[in-house]
Structures are given as C-alpha cells and as structure tokens.
Structure 1
C-alpha cells in the first residue's frame, strides 16, 4: 500500500548525477549530421537552442537557415544565411547555398551574384557551377548555362544534375543530337523515383532499339501525364518493328491509350506486368528514333468518346449564352512538379480574359487550385466545369465542346494539342525545353500557340497579347 502524501520514504533516493552541458561544437555537429540525413525533427530543436545561445555564430546562423529553408520558411532562411555571410563573407559554402535560396524565391539577380562570388572563392566546386548553370537557365541565358554545366562535368564527370542541365539547354536550343543523350541522366538525379520496382528491373537491360527475338518489350509511361501524351506518338514506330510489346501506364492515362492503341496490351499495376526481355520509358524513345526538330513524328489525334462528347456539348451549351466564345482555362499544374512555382498562376491573374466582351470562361482546373473557381464564378463570367470532370476522357470531351483553351504549361496543353484543338499556352520566361526558345508555335503540336513572359514572374504582357489576339480569333464551329 502506498504511504500517504505527508509520509517520507524510509530510504532516501540515490543522488542523481549533475547534468553536464553539451559543448556547443558537439551539438552543432550532431545537428548538422541530422540535417544532412534529413532528420529535421531532430535537427530543428538543436539548431534553435544553438541560435539562442550563439546568435552571432555564422555556422549556427547558416545551419539554422538551411533547416528553415527545408521547412519552407524561406524568408527566415534567407535572412539567417545573409547574416552568416555578413559575419563570414568569404565562406563559399554559405554563398553557394544562398544562391540556391535566392533562385527559389525568385531573386535571380542576387542568385547569380552570389553564385559568381562562390565560384571565385571555390572554382573547383562542381556544385557551385551546377547551381550557376540552373540560375542562368532560369534567366534565359542558355549559352551561359551550358558553359557552367560543362565546367561542372569536367570536375565531376558523373554529376547527374550537370548532365541534365546540358540536356535541358541543348533540347531548348534544338540541338537534339546531344540533348537526347544527356537526357538519359534524368533517372540518376537525386530524389528521382525509380522507373519500376527493382525486383522487376533486376538483370534486364534498357532497350536499345534493336530486335529482341522472342522476348517482350515493356514500354513505360514515365514522368507526367503530359509526357505520356507527347511521347506516345512513338509507339507506332516501336510496333512497326514487329516486337511483342506491352505498355505500362497510369490508370489516368490508360483509357486514352486504349483508344489510341486498341490492340496493344496495357497494364496499370506492376503486379499485372508480364515477363519482359527489355524495357524503355516513353521519354527515351525520341533518342532511339533519332528525332531532330524537323523529324518529330506527327501527333496522334485523340478524339472524344462519342457519348461523352454529346453530354459535354449539352453541359456547355454556349449558344444559350448569346453565342459567347467558350474558353476553357487551366491556371495551375501539379504542385510537385519541379518548376511549378514558375509555370502555375492564380486564377485572378486571368481576370483580363473575363473582361473581354462576348467571352465565357470555363474552368477545367483540377486539384487543390480548383477551389479558386468558387469565388471567381460569382462574377457570372466563369462556368466551373471541374466538378463534372471525372477523368481525362471527360477533359477531352469538354475541350471538344469549347472554342479555345487558355492554359499554363500542363497536361491539358498536351491534350488539346493532341486533339488538334486551338490552345494558347502561357509560358514562363525560362520555359520547359519542349517549347524551344522564343518561337510562338510548337513542332510537337501544330494547333498550339505560345505566349511567353518577357521577364521572369511577369504575366501582364503575355495576357495582354492573348486579350489582343482574341479580337481576331475566329474558331471553326
């Protein structure tokens, strides 16, 4: 039975050893190792303690900035690392890291200046040169990006990021010969998920374009939905070789691929995958095909399902709206896309379109950003069709019922292009390689028209161009 509260125990407890404070250098080392290993829940409290104890120590300020950046507290991160640089201005590591932070927050001039200072201090660091290459790429300075990336490769030949920077620059320039070869490094980039489960890939080589005898070739719809739409045009070329072929793709893409290739076996789960002798991602086919800008295969025309097309014509009967021009809009892509912060916009950015007389906007936006349509729809100039869109088959049918699509760089741009429909694509200043540089059209999709930013983060000019172009736009009804 426990004694009452006012009764002392007969035996005094053994004295506890005094707590010995951990040396700051040891705590900093532990916090640094935790951050580098991605254990932010462990690194953050240690770093916070160090920052309170040593608020002027540059190593602590730098580490606290790195942790804050990885926690998406970007303003705080930049301020902390800036303070570290003030106290230790010749530390190339601090300058290297803040150059990347500046790039991500859109301060490209500051990013380039910091990268150049870092290179001057540490010219043999390939990571600094790679960072500088990416900054030049986002500034639209493709030649400078190539120079920096090649220097990084000369210092570290197996640096995947630098090779991929060369690929993006060369593909954007239209130099497809080197571009496709360097593009193969994309699967070696840090953090990129494997193409397939290791157990399936073990001991099997990527297809080189030749014959496999009796074996089956597995094509894989890799990367995003737009990539599958863009590169599926190579499947007839593969099938022409007479090789037994299976396509592995997502549940979202499978219905479209089945209508394009009714005789091609398609699997949507790795557990359903048959034995195969070789594999190839769809995005690897242009290299094997030897594609150059003037030999891009024609797009495979996607047509809507007849019944769904009739349903969507009824849903979007714009004749009942006094003959308004029906414009489908998409303003945001997948947030996990590595360049989404540059390509996606807010719905309010498209407000100038709603002000054009005789226009009805139709939201085809899916995902989290679709919620923005609710407030905008109150203006009476927007129909929110997204709740009725269950899959890509619905998106195809909706596009077919509209006169024009205005979209940022998303899979809907690819889809409209594959349908041969009028689509105007809003592109960031440093657009993805597939849209080339400067040109207003696309050899990948002849029905698309490209509207580009004249400077990073500025959408006013391309939107003004679109509003102006609407004045002479005459759709085929």
Structure 2
C-alpha cells in the first residue's frame, strides 16, 4: 500500500497528474531524487530531499504530501496530517489527497475520520478501486462488515485483477464468518499473484481457523519460503504443526519466529503452549508468562509487586483469576500452596464461582471480579502460580478433592433424582463456544446415542447454557434426565452441578468446566478428547496428574468421535457389569 501512496498519480487514483506535476521545473530534479530514495525505502534521505525542495518551493502540494507520507511512515502521524492539510489547502479539489489523508488516519487508528476521507475521495473519483478497498478495510475495522464487503466488491468489479482487493474481501468475509466466500476470495487473490507472501499468509490463517490444519501448514510454509522474515507466518506455522502433533517442527518454527522478533509476545506464548503440551514444563511455564503482554488474553496488571514465590508473612497476596471458568476451577488448588508461604491470601474469582470457590483451602478472603478492590501488597495471576512455584509434572498438586459440594444440596438432589436402581452417569458435551478451539473440543450430543442403549445406564444432563438445546433433538432424548430450568440458577453456578455429581457413579464429559469440577471433587470422570487436546492434557496416556480420578479417551484420528464413543461404550458396559 505504501508504494501506491508514493505513486499518487497512477490510474488507481483516477488518472490524476503525476507526483511531480505542478512543481517548478528547477525543483523537479530534487523532488525526483527524493522520490527515488522514497521508493527504495531510504526514508531519511527522502525526507532531506523533500525538505530541501520545500525550502525553495514551500507551497508545492506534491512535496508537501510526500513529506507527509514520510512522517507517517516514521510514526509522526500528527505532523503528517499537518503537511497533507497544507497540500490540500493548495489544491482543495484534489480527491487524491483526501485518499492520502484517509490512509494516514487509518494508520493512526482514527477509523471514523479515515472513512470520511475515503468517502470524500470517492465522491470525485467513484471508480478508484484502491479507495474502495481501503474504505472497505476501514469499515471492517469498525465492524461494519456488510458495507465493507460492498466496497471491496466494487473494487474488484472496477479492477478484476486487483489481487489485494480480493484478499481484503477474503479477510472481510472471514470476519463476518462467511467461510466459503472467504476461501473463494483468497483463492482469487492467489490465482492473480501466486508469489505474494501475504496472500498465502491470509489464506493459511483462514484455513487454520476453519480446522484445515494440514493445508494451513502448507500455506504458512509457502509464506516463509517467499518471505523468510515473516515473523507471524513462522509463528503460525508452529501453531499449525502443533495442531498436527508435529511437535519438534512446531517448536522449531516458533523458536524461529522468536529469533526474528524476540519481543513477539504471541510467539513466546504459543511456544509456551507447545512446550507445555509436549511436557516441557520448566521452559513452558516461563514462555507462557508472555500472555501477560497480550491484551486479548486479559491478564491484568496492578501497581504492586508481582509475587515471586518467596514467603510473605505479614503481607497480603492477591491471586486474580484469568481466562475461563475451567481454568479457575483447575488452578484454585494453588491457593493452599500460596497460603503455606505465610500472610493473607485473597482470591479474586469470576463472580459465578464465588460459592463453589469458598470450599477451596488456603483462601482467607474471597472477592468477585468487579467488586471494590481490597488492599493488598503483592499480586499474582492465577495461572502464573505453577511457574512461580516451580511446578513440574511430578510435583503437580493433586490433593483431591480440593472442592466440596454443599451437603444440604447433595441431600436435596439425591431425593430429587430419585436415587433408584441403575448406574447414574452425568454427561456434558459443550464448552464455551467463544473459545477459539471449542469446535474441536466440544462434542455434538448425538454421539452420546452410542451409550444410550447400554443396560443399567441412567444419564443425567450436566449441560447448562450453550448446548443444552441439543437435548430437544436428541434421538434418545427420553434416556437423558434434564435437571430442569432452575439447575445452577438459584444456588449459584456449579453448586447444583457439584451436588448432582456427588450423587453420581460416573461423569462422562467433553473438555469443559464440568470436567474440572468433577475432577476437583474427586469423582470418577471420563473425558473425551480431540486428537490434539488443550496443553494441560498432554499428547498421550489415559491418565493425567492434574486429576487422579480422570480417565482420558483420546481421538486416534482428528474429528473421529465415533471411535471414541465406541471405546466409551465398551468401557461403560464393562464398568457397569463390574469388569472395569
């Protein structure tokens, strides 16, 4: 895009005069010298040449806007806008400069103003394909996806071989979750420019998000072949290879990304995830700490020292939960170890978990996230505790149970469930759909039909919220007891779940908060896992050091839940008959 801004006079802008048009003849050589440096990327020399030209010709709009672009490229957007404003004052009817202003505003993150500038440019040059696709990008950034698609489509209608507009259209379709249209647009871009590294990268990103991992890996590999310094492509190649279980290659690709950009927080964090999945806890925890620099993960910072694991007698430590409810349920076990270091322990947890968290040992005071802050001296994010305390696979704290149900609720649910003959099994199948890997870990309820005909089995739904609607269409619906609309409502999140689980013989679940709850309660639980699971479950084995009562049923092939449930059915039959 930078080149198009420099070559302002090209046809993308509706055939305006070239960049030296209007400059006094005596100054053209100096301006052309600046342009040469600008095109080659030598911004310092270009800036010097433009300034020298402007000392002689201070009102030359071409030099003013080109110097404005230099300032923008060097991170001085305010100065850039001043210079472009001067150029516009000299040529108030020049639509090209409205486009350039929009470009600078877009780069500065001032999207509403950028949209206005691009729209102003299009009033005078409605067939400017570049202005249409740039406006489309801005509208995408504003979440106005339908309008964005319209402008990108207009760009490729005007210029069908405008590959960048096709790629931008693909990115917008991806953002609005139109999978087929996104892939088709990316393919059109690559057909036009098969050697364009960024187009391969965009396409590979889409393929990765759609679960087409092997193709994504090929796309990222092609990207780094074309652009060996593409940090994000190396990092995402590592992510794709991890999702294929190719751990040595995955870790190598992530290390390459970090070598290229040692400050790349995403690369470090993904390396941490890969190392933890591969069982390399010491380095894995260290790299996982980089999540604190990734705003989207939402780990907060406070104006107090971070706890380093040292004794803190006489001080107050804040442990603050992060990420999902399942994470809070899993790592709350560390509060007891922190408490052993002395001092007062405050645990700030998601509000829905306040009641069940109260049963965890080692907590002096509970507070809900969002409540008025309580004074504290030191802080630590919840999932930093394994790193701070030097957890290895052998030293994972597994004193189970570390959560407890409410005794009165246990008795109430025992009566409500009837407690009749049969082997009582709680089931859950859906995790939080907003989690980016949920499509891989959650299981359509229909697969549980493989268990419905097993003699003596009685199934009770533990599913709450997302996924519960699948009960209505379940072929063996009468075989599943629904605990009712008030389940986990009046008594607090997971309180009814904990009480029901206490009355069960077994829990069978996907990788969700229910698995963590059942494991923390010390109840026998079977969990169905995708071929490449979340890092905490490792890559092999039927057991996990996190929960001694958990048994893992892993996919042998990605996406093959049928085989998993065939094994579950066999194991359940043996279990009920007393043979397993």
**Same-fold call, TM > 0.5?**
yes
CA–CA distance in 1 between the matches of 2:503 and 2:207? 43
What are the within-5 Å matches in structure 2 for residues 199-238 of structure 1?
A: 201=302, 203-212=303-312, 214-238=314-338
More off after superposition, 42-51 vs 347-356: 42-51
| TM-aligned CA deviation for residue 51 of structure 1 | 3.2
State the 1:317 CA deviation. Answer: 2.2
**Residues in 1 aligned to 2:194 and 2:427: alpha-carbon distance in whole angstroms:** 48
Give unmatched runs, 5+ long, in structure 1: 1-17
Q: CA deviation at 1:378?
A: 6.3
Which residue of the partner structure matches residue 517 of structure 2?
Answer: 415
Once the two structures are superposed, the pairs formed by residues 105-254 of structure 1 within 5 Å of their partners are 105-195=210-300, 201=302, 203-212=303-312, 214-254=314-354
Specify which of 534, 555, 558 is matched with residue 456 of structure 1: 558
Cα offset, 1:379, TM superposition: 3.9
Q: Which residue of 1 aligns with 2:176?
A: 71
Aligned twin of 2:384: 284
| CA 1:288–1:193: 2 relative to 1, 3 Å | closer
Task: Compute the displacement of 1:355 (Å).
Answer: 2.5
CA distance in 1, matches of 2:340, 2:190: 60
Cα distance in 2 for partners of 1:298, 1:379 equals: 36
> What TM-score does the superposition give when structure 2 sets the normalisation length?
0.74
Q: Which moved more, 1:427-436 or 1:213-222?
A: 213-222
Superposed counterparts of 1:73-88, under 5 Å: 73-88=178-193
1:347 aligns with 2:347: no
Give the whole-Å Cα distance in 1 for the aligned partners of 2:308 and 2:147. Answer: 46
- Residues 292 and 444 from structure 1, CA distance in 2 versus in 1: closer, same or farther, beyond 3 angstroms? same
Deviation per residue, 1:293-345 (Å, 9 max, x gap): 011112341232111111111222242xxx32221111100111121111012
Structure 1 stretch displaced more, 269-278 or 124-133? 269-278
- Paired position in structure 1 for 2:148: 43
Counterparts of 1:40 and 1:353 in 2: how far apart (Å)? Answer: 43
User: Which 10-residue stretch deviates more, 66-75 or 113-122?
Assistant: 113-122
CA distance in 1, matches of 2:480, 2:505: 15
Distance 1:96 1:280 in 2: 36
Which of 196, 199, 210 lines up with 1:91 in the alignment?
Answer: 196
Question: Does the CA contact (< 8 Å) of 1:403 and 1:475 recur in 2?
Answer: no
Q: Larger relative contact order (C-alpha < 8 A, sep ≥ 6)? A: 1
In structure 2, distance between residues paired with 1:26 and 1:456: 43
- Cα distance in 1 for residues equivalent to 2:195 and 2:503: 61
Aligned equivalents of 1:453 and 1:145: distance in 2? 20
Number of paired residues? 451
Change (3 A) 1:179 1:76: same
- 1:327 aligned to 2:425? yes
Q: What value does the CA root-mean-square deviation take over the aligned residues?
A: 2.1
TM-score normalised to structure 1 length: 0.89
Residue 105 and residue 64 in structure 1: after superposition, are their counterparts in 2 closer, same or farther (change >3 A)? same
Query: Which structure shows the higher helix fraction?
Result: 2
The 3 A distance-change label for structure 1 pair 378 and 470 is closer
Measured at CA, do residues 309 and 475 of structure 1 come closer, stay the same or move farther in structure 2, by a change above 3 Å? farther
Specify the structure having the higher radius of gyration (Cα): 2
- CA contact under 8 A between 2:431 and 2:466: conserved in structure 1? no
Match of 2:131 in 1: 26
2:347–2:363 contact (8 Å) kept in structure 1? no
Q: Report the Cα distance in structure 2 between the residues aligned to 1:303 and 1:59, rounded to whole angstroms.
A: 57
- The match for 1:13 is none
Secondary structure of the residue that 1:336 maps to in structure 2? coil
Counterpart CA distance in 2 for 1:261 and 1:235 is: 7
Q: CA deviation at 1:71?
A: 0.5
Q: Per-residue deviation at 1:440?
A: 0.7
SS at match of 1:303: coil
Once residues 526 and 568 of structure 2 are traced to their aligned partners in structure 1, the CA distance between those partners, rounded to angstroms, is 8
User: Would the alpha carbon gap of residues 231 and 396 (structure 1) be closer, same or farther in structure 2, given more than 3 Å must change?
Assistant: same
Distance 1:296 1:379, change over 3 A: closer
1:447 and 2:549 aligned: yes
Please tell me whether the aligned partners of residues 363 and 383 of structure 1 are also in contact (alpha carbons under 8 angstroms). Answer: yes
In 1, are the aligned partners of 2:312 and 2:341 still within 8 Å (CA)?
A: no
**Structure 2 residue 404 is matched with structure 1 residue 303:** yes
SS of the aligned residue for 2:183 comes to: helix
Q: Deviations over 1:178-201 (max 9, x none)?
A: 0110110122235222426xxxx2
Contact 1:221 1:249 (C-alpha < 8 Å) held by counterparts: yes
Q: Which of 457, 460, 466 does residue 359 from structure 1 map onto? A: 457
User: Residue 448 of structure 1: CA displacement?
Assistant: 0.4
Aligned equivalents of 1:88, 1:434: Cα separation in 2: 41
Indicate which of 398, 403, 406 corresponds to 2:500.
Answer: 398
- Structure 1 residues 374 and 444: alpha-carbon distance in aligned structure 2, compared to 1, 3 A threshold: same
Q: Determine the structure 2 residue equivalent to 1:7.
A: none
Query: Is the Cα–Cα contact under 8 Å of residues 452 and 476 in structure 2 kept in the other structure?
Result: no
Pairwise CA distance, 1:58: 1.4
Partners of 2:379 and 2:394 lie apart in 1 by: 27
Return the offset for 1:54: 3.0
The separation in 2 between residues aligned to 1:406 and 1:225, in whole angstroms, is 19
Structure 2: 5+ residue stretches without partners:
1-121
User: Cα gap change, 1:36/1:327 in structure 2, threshold over 3 Å: closer, same or farther?
Assistant: same
Is the alpha carbon distance of 1:34 and 1:367 closer, same or farther for their aligned partners in structure 2, counting shifts above 3 Å?
same
Structure 2 contact 345–362 (Cα < 8 Å) conserved: no
Q: Secondary structure at the match of 1:174?
A: coil
